[in-house]
Amino acid sequence: MTDILQQDIMYLPGVGPRRKEILSRELGINTFGDLLEYYPYKYVDRSKVYTIAEVTPDMPFIQVCGEILSFDETVLSPRRKRLVARFSDGTAVCELVWFNNVKYVKSSLAPRKRYVLFGKPSVFNGRIQFSHPEMDEADKIELNEMGMQPYYSTTEKMKKAGLTSRTMEKLTKTLLSKLVTPLRETLPGFITKRLRLMSRDDAMRKIHYPKTIEDSTRASFRLKFEELFYVQLNILRYASDHRRKYRGYVFKHVGAQFNWFYSHNMPFELTGAQKRVMHEIRADMCSGRQMNRLLQGDVGSGKTLVALMSMLIAIDNGYQACIMAPTEILAEQHLQTIRDFLKGMHIRVELLTGIVKGKRRKAVLEGLISGDINILVGTHAIIEDNVQFRSLGLAVIDEQHRFGVAQRARLWTKSKNPPHILVMTATPIPRTLAMTIYGDLDVSVIDELPPGRKPIVTIHKYDDQMTSLYQGIRNQIHKGRQVYIVYPLIKDSEKIDLKNLEEGYEGLLQVFPEFKLSKIHGKMKDKEKEAEMEKFVKGETQILVATTVIEVGVNVPNASVMVILDAQRFGLSQLHQLRGRVGRGADQSFCILVTTRKLTKETSRRIDIMCDTNDGFQIAEADLKLRGPGDLEGTQQSGIAFDLKIADIARDGQIVQLARDEAQKIIDDDPTCSSTTYQMLWDRLSELRNVNINWAAIS
């Protein structure tokens, strides 16, 4: 059976070389097996046949069986005709109408012949009408066996080649008729029995041709579970293998540096969430295995403080630590924050980015090798070959989705053993997504803000209400506050967006002649950006006009207003990140989302969610459902689990969890993945690795 599924799709009756090329290019369908795994996206119930007398215009797609009585053809223009057919089943008469392919339709249908019509009824001139209905000869189909009709997604190029949903349905039916022996089972009996899953063969046939809704539901569950189970099994096998191979440095002591910091330099009482996360990190560092932990926390939740305390534990045990940030601005901010935290302590903290050159760079490189530098803060410059540490014990990666897998892996070469890894992100990741993208990492969450922080008030305004908005900005600045005004910058319309920003900046100079303004966008030179940012940080300018370059890495506690123009053009996660630039001081902060009045339902929903909650995890869950995992920032580059054919991480969270639990049972029972009891699973994983799933691992 495996052989037939590997056959070239060109040799399936109804395909041929031309259609094969289109199927390959548009959908990646090259073999019989690929076609079998091209699943319907919906079904329509065709088990019931209505009489025309029963039909009402509010019905969904339905079917009627009858005869064409006559045709009436009307010329609408030199290139356009309308074809109307009178259709009857003996209970009443309705009209069928076509505006496209009139000549073909008329030649393929014959009066006084029985047809099964399938379409959406409407009313025109008081009579029931069907526009462009599907027509099947009644004697060629078994009405009582039609059940649920599958619908397949198609592209415009496919449709031009005649590869409509109906054609895909017929091709799949042809293929299934060729599979005379059952498909090979890919899940062991102990799993299918325990979870009461139908067989793979049954599931494949019923996903394409279910008789009932229950058929399609059970088939879908079986196939989704299998897909997610092998993703999770692969991730957990990788993690198990990794833990066995790589022993971690054992940091036994919480020593003088940590204790001094905790007693004398701690800026505020740790939240319960920060304490919990520190216990988790401490347990990892003592365990003898390499820590691979993802630290999630909203903007301002205190991740940097947790990272610093973890670095102090490494230093107390005679090791060095580093923190790698995606931008120079963020690296410099971390440097300043860490030096402020460590004031009065004998710990050397240095910076390594692209702008650190000459004698200064040489001194940093020498200090790392000698061990004089305890903490290195930098960008991807840290992973350059000539950067060597005496003893790197902990590497912290901030906003890790900005780094590729290969870049992160190079940190491992900086030490005899791989250092402990703490990955941080302020982009909240929904649990089911984290379980899949970062499934080989242990996850810690800081879900509390430090005491004294007031929730940001988010307000929606329309672009015809700018006068009142400007007055609100003026009032805040008179209170001594500062303001961000953000313009969108989307690649597809970058020139227009930059022009809008430049014009907007000039306009704002006229609106606020009494205030000083800064301007930042990605096309400016780094030195120019830094100079403008520095003015804003020091309070020399009151308003910062910028694109989304300020999304990550700007910390100005005095800034209390974030105005986001054309907010309808941003995704939820990006809006939340931008909002996180304010609310960092003790004052009440505001985020103003400015949109046009013409909004789609989805956009209105996004804006409402932003106004209703400051919870980054709620927002991330909503974003996942609205946009899907492939669109979320940072998830595409990971390459893991987004070749899913039928499962949907956003909507199938319970199945993800079930698959994870089942996979974990296997790994717990067979951590070396060598038991013959599970040989079927290891063989199947090897097969999948050789097909089309990108299993790139994260850590």
pLDDT of residue 77: 85
pLDDT of residue 580: 83
Sign, CA dihedral 197-199-202-203, equals: positive
Cα–Cα distances in Å, from 371 out to 252, 320, 368, 390? Answer: 20, 7, 5, 5
Helices (H), 512-590: 526-537, 572-579
DSSP annotation of 509? H
Strands 420-425 and 392-398: parallel
> Which residue in the block uniquely carries the two structure tokens 């004698």?
359
Please state, in angstroms and rounded to a whole number, the distance separating the CA atoms of residues 692 and 32: 15
What is the mean pLDDT, run by run of 10 residues, along the chain of 699 residues?
82 94 94 94 86 92 93 88 94 94 89 92 93 88 70 90 91 93 93 96 95 92 95 87 82 93 89 94 91 84 92 96 88 90 94 91 95 94 91 88 62 80 80 70 82 85 92 93 86 68 89 92 79 87 85 72 91 84 83 92 89 82 66 37 72 86 93 89 83 39
Please state, in angstroms and rounded to a whole number, the distance separating the CA atoms of residues 239 and 674: 15
Two structure tokens written together for 19: 């259609």
Please state, in angstroms and rounded to a whole number, the distance separating the CA atoms of residues 546 and 564: 10
pLDDT of residue 633: 38
Q: Provide the angle, in degrees to the nearest 10, between the axes of the packed helices 328-341 and 303-316.
A: 60
pLDDT of residue 629: 54
- For 358, other C-beta atoms within 10 Å of its C-beta total 7
- For 661, other C-beta atoms within 10 Å of its C-beta total 11
Residue count (the chain): 699
176 beta partners: none
| Residues 6 or more apart in contact with residue 397 via CB below 8 angstroms | 323, 324, 403, 408, 411, 421, 422, 423, 424
376 beta partners: 322, 350
| Residues 6 or more apart in contact with residue 266 via CB below 8 angstroms | none
Q: Own/partner pairs for 137-146, CB < 8 Å, 24+ apart?
A: 137/113, 138/65, 138/114, 139/114, 141/116, 143/49, 143/65, 143/116, 144/47, 145/211, 146/46, 146/47, 146/63
Give yes or no for a contact between 446 and 277, defined as CB atoms under 8 angstroms apart: yes
> Which residue in the block uniquely carries the two structure tokens 């580059």?
637
**Global pTM exceeds 0.75:** no
Please state, in angstroms and rounded to a whole number, the distance separating the CA atoms of residues 569 and 250: 48
pLDDT of residue 637: 32
Give yes or no for a contact between 544 and 575, defined as CB atoms under 8 angstroms apart: no
Cβ burial, residue 2 (10 Å; 0-12/13-18/19+): exposed
Please state, in angstroms and rounded to a whole number, the distance separating the CA atoms of residues 593 and 433: 27
Two structure tokens written together for 407: 């870049």
- For 44, other C-beta atoms within 10 Å of its C-beta total 14
Please state, in angstroms and rounded to a whole number, the distance separating the CA atoms of residues 513 and 40: 60
Number of H helices, E strands in the chain: 24, 22
Two structure tokens written together for 346: 């004998």
pLDDT of residue 78: 83
351 beta partners: 377
Two structure tokens written together for 693: 């799933």
b/e sequence 118-128, b meaning 16+ C-beta within 10 Å: bbebeeeeeeb
pLDDT of residue 697: 37
Helices (H), 247-383: 256-260, 272-286, 303-316, 328-341, 358-370
Two structure tokens written together for 205: 């046939």
Two structure tokens written together for 477: 């600045």
In three-state secondary structure terms, 444 is: strand
